[in-house]
A = this chain, B = another copy of it.
Amino acid sequence: MKRYEQYADEIAELIRTQVLRAGDRLPSVRQASGSRHISPSTVFEAYYLLEARGLIQARPRSGYYVNALRAAGGVEPATAPPAGESTPVAISELVFEVLGSTRQADVVPLGSAFPSPRLFPLDKLARCLSPAMRRLEPQRIVEELTSGSERLRRQLGLRYVSAGLGLDTREIVITNGAMEALNLCLQAVTRPGDVVAVESPTFYAALQALERLQLRAVEVATHPRHGVELASLAQVLSQHPVKACWFMPNFQNPLGSLMPEENKRALVELLARHEVPLIEDDVYAELYFGLRRPLPCKSFDRQGLVMHCSSFSKNLAPGYRVGWTAAGRFAERVQRLKLMTTLGNAVAPQEALCDYLQQGGYDRHLRQLRQALADSQARALRGIAKHFPAGTRVTRPEGGYFLWVQLPQGVDALTLHRLALSQNISLAPGHLFSADRRFANCVRLNYGQGGDERFDDALRTLGQLACAQLAA
């Protein structure tokens, strides 16, 4: 890490721990340079970086101030305690009903699970496809069918190193997006009737996967900012024969929560003591607004129990369907399941991604993408603060593209969903995110498709609909 990054990091930490608060003025460049024994240009670069991340802002002829929107804002939701029982899952029908209705092209897609495709370097990627495939030795099509391109797995291995962990690339299996990786991992370590621990609220695709494999869900209390609560997990592990956990430690869907590093380490140690595998869904990690990629739980794993799953779908190449898992001691089992169910992955998208990654535009693209999402989050938070009913609570995630909005009691999210849809706005009602449909007054809003006036208007309409429901 360079000196200016280090200094920026220190200030970010002061903001995170609220030593520096909204509206506080940062030391002037001269002050900082003098007191820290660093050059003025280092201070400038650090402030510039913090500003790009949306943590501070410059006021003309006055200096740098801690950004009001990020540190202040409204009240965040609290942890919602789950029931504590394990339950069979029957959520799919509702998920299909709700999502199916939100796919029309003219709907403002606040309920979508995807960021806008306009945010990605699709043309640059497309240009890689033909040359990459024309260079490919035909024999490799069959040889690399099931585990995926060796070249790509080596590049993923390099990115793992820079994310703080080294692993044998033979542990990696390329999959049809992270969705296939997660499903294969879940199937590799469970049998029908088994209990699986999930977050609360939970990403609905995890619930659907449990339902499809006839597994039982037990929900673990999850803090909207810090993620899985370890005391709750310890209790669940002592009371239920948990066969696996499916968690999203970095920017959880729908909460956006980010587990602190010390919690990740403790989580891995706790699960190692119980010999319980962790399926780590890490698809949002690259969409951080902080200073660096948050570590995966996998980087604390010494037992091969963490099955790390990720993809390029949310941060680079939607529609390329290139995901993967580094499945630890279960790698061979996952590979065999892959062979039996989808045989292998399309070759061209993998080879094109290899070429793109080697050309070196990925990190620049990611910086722009993070900035666009951070800006869009700020805009969404302003809209919600302005238009939503008093008593609304909303998360302020440090990455990803979802807000979790807890509306006052009296608003029913499914009703709101239907009313919104009649005005050509979609949303994801809280009902989708729990096996027992507890989050009836919550909605997940996607700001990754936003940042324009149509989006602002949609938020205003949503707010009006919610207010009208409360007044009725």
Contacts and interface: CB of A to CB of B under 8 A. Distances in A.
Contacts of A133: 122, 125-126, 129
Contacts of A145: 319
Interface string A109-121: 0001010011010
A463 interface: no
Contacts of A175: 342
A93 to B, nearest CB: 9
A200 interface: no
A348 interface: yes
A44 interface: no
Interface in A233-271: none
A173 to B, nearest CB: 13
A128 to B, nearest CB: 8
A79 interface: no
Contacts of A336: 92, 96
Contacts of A322: 346
Interface in A124-147: 125-131, 133-134, 136, 138-139, 141-143, 145
A183 interface: yes
Nearest to A130: B130
Contacts of A7: none
A390 interface: no
Contact of A130 (B127, B340, B347): B127
Interface in A193-218: 205, 208-209, 212, 214
A180 B321 CA distance: 15
A349 interface: yes
Given A320-B348, A341-B180, A346-B346, A139 B117 contact: yes
A67 interface: no
A292 interface: no
A277 interface: no
A104 to B, nearest CB: 9
A280 B231 CA distance: 52
A318 interface: yes
Contacts of A77: none
A63 interface: no
A355 to B, nearest CB: 11
A123 B117 contact: no
Interface in A317-350: 318-322, 336-337, 339-349
Given A142-B318, A176-B176, A320-B347, 18 more contacts: A96-B336, A117-B138, A117-B141, A117-B142, A118-B138, A122-B133, A126-B130, A130-B131, A175-B342, A177-B342, A177-B343, A179-B341, A192-B192, A212-B337, A212-B341, A319-B344, A321-B342, A345-B346
Interface of A: 92, 96, 103, 105, 112, 114, 117-118, 120, 122-123, 125-131, 133-134, 136, 138-139, 141-143, 145, 175-177, 179-180, 183, 192, 205, 208-209, 212, 214, 318-322, 336-337, 339-349, 352
